Structure 1
Amino acid sequence: MATTSYRDIKLDMLRRITDGEWPPGSLLPSEMDLSGHYGAARATVSRAMRELADEGLVERKRKAGTRVRPSPVRLMRMEIPLVRTEIEEQGAEYRYALVRSDIQIADDWLRARLGLEPGTEVRHLICVHFSDGQPYQFEDRWISLAATPAARTVDFRTSGPNEWLVGQVPFSTVEVSFSATAADDEQSHHLGCAPGDPLFTVERQTTWRDEGVTFVRLFHRRGHRMTTRY
């Protein structure tokens, strides 16, 4: 690959991180090796790596090299909460179940929500999270495979998409909405409540550089309490 633009180098390095070629914790090639790969000056590569470090994607240490951070990108100092942590911090035992997973063409409403091109494929996942054996959260999630190709083949049967996305995929903006909704038949079945019962609902959309990554609806039974720390 012949390019002298640090922006092009940075974008390609970002792609290799988000595609899983360089997974969290991995050691990146040296600046000298990368300058040879990209056909660019070492200073150009260094600038690209410095910007990735400033954005929280990689960590650079003198004599130890550059590694992909375990939890990339915290520019806004905002943490995407992990439901496992939420439950375990309450002293309860966490359990997870995947209800179903499929790959489909994004519906119009989802394309409009995430800014996706027509024909974009998404991975749709339905999951349930349990606290001490009781239903705690019903998760209805879509992941853009254009923004996150690696999500196509991930096995979510033992660990949920929430944990995988937080550990693997960067984000630059997050939009969160809260509402009260009524349980439909599927939600009531998995949450152990009656159809029509009120649910506390969180909608969360994450974006990386104006490209929609994932949209999720999280449903909780009556009485759920959410606490935010700043």
Structure 2
Amino acid sequence: MSARSSFRTLRDEMARRIAERRWPPGALIPGEEALAREFGAARATVNRALQELARAGLVERRRRAGTRVALHPVREARFVIPLVRQEIEGRGATYRYRLLSREEPSPPEIVRARLGLDDGVPLLRVRCLHLADNAPYQLEDRWINLDAVPGARTADFETVSPNEWLVENAPFTEAEFTFRAAAAGPEEAAVLQLRAGEPVFVGERITWLRERPITLVSMIHPPSHRMVTRL
């Protein structure tokens, strides 16, 4: 980076290091002088970039104690991504999880368009089923941007759902939510133990870390599903 690097460039680079866990939650990051030398930027530019990260909830700044990566970055500062396990157990039911598939296919154009990604950017698709008292509760169909979250390629989704793994490993700064009714296709109906064409409740969510998309997920529920939100 040159001395003319903008605070946005520095901010985005530091946010990338946090997302990739080069600076893990709770880590003390280098001081302003050290960062200014590394980036070839003015100390004031570094300070402004850190202020932006603090406002986004990615770091915590304290006088004489330095700057640390937030232990629960962004999720608590902006919005809490719900954990399906907690939803189910909060209803007094027994939670179970089943991985259905994971692959790195060429995604359909609509997925790339929703995420705003060019051809060639690697995406991981993970499909899994969450169960409550052994009954299908949610079919999770998720695309993960491996450029933004490279650790997802080797994550153990056999035992931990991508929902839980991403909450712990991929902080975000923005999210978009969509809710709609739909008719179950043959594959969805088979997994959710419904008849093809039976109505389902679909929630979709996209998250970003600054300008970089992290994941697009479709959460498909049987028609009996009720969504409850507390603000």
Q: Same fold (TM over 0.5)?
A: yes
Segments of structure 1 that go 5 or more residues without pairing to the other structure are none
Match of 1:33 in 2: 34
Alignment of 1:15-26 (within 5 A): 15-26=16-27
Tell me how far apart the structure 1 counterparts of residues 8 and 180 of structure 2 sit (CA, whole Å): 40
Match of 1:120 in 2: 121
Match of 1:171 in 2: 172
Tell me how far apart the structure 2 counterparts of residues 90 and 52 of structure 1 sit (CA, whole Å): 36
Label 1:107 to 1:51 Cα distance change in 2 as closer, same or farther (>3 A). Answer: same
Match of 1:81 in 2: 82
Q: CA deviation at 1:175?
A: 2.2
Tell me how far apart the structure 2 counterparts of residues 146 and 30 of structure 1 sit (CA, whole Å): 27
Q: Which moves more between the two structures, 193-202 or 3-12? A: 3-12
Tell me how far apart the structure 2 counterparts of residues 97 and 75 of structure 1 sit (CA, whole Å): 28
Contact 1:3 1:9 in 2 (8 A): no
Alignment of 1:36-185 (within 5 A): 36-74=37-75, 77-185=78-186
Tell me how far apart the structure 1 counterparts of residues 131 and 167 of structure 2 sit (CA, whole Å): 19
- Residue identity opposite 1:164 in structure 2: W
Identity %: 49
Q: Which moves more between the two structures, 181-190 or 128-137? A: 181-190
Match of 1:226 in 2: 227
Cα RMSD (Å) of the superposition? 2.3
- Residue identity opposite 2:92 in structure 1: G
TM-score, normalised via structure 2 length: 0.87
Tell me how far apart the structure 2 counterparts of residues 8 and 180 of structure 1 sit (CA, whole Å): 41
- Residue identity opposite 2:100 in structure 1: V
Segments of structure 2 that go 5 or more residues without pairing to the other structure are none
Tell me how far apart the structure 1 counterparts of residues 41 and 162 of structure 2 sit (CA, whole Å): 37
Label 1:12 to 1:175 Cα distance change in 2 as closer, same or farther (>3 A). Answer: closer
Q: Which moves more between the two structures, 124-133 or 68-77? A: 68-77
Match of 2:196 in 1: 195
Q: CA deviation at 1:53?
A: 0.7
- Residue identity opposite 2:191 in structure 1: H
Tell me how far apart the structure 2 counterparts of residues 227 and 62 of structure 1 sit (CA, whole Å): 40
Q: Secondary structure at the match of 2:87?
A: helix
TM-score, normalised via structure 1 length: 0.87
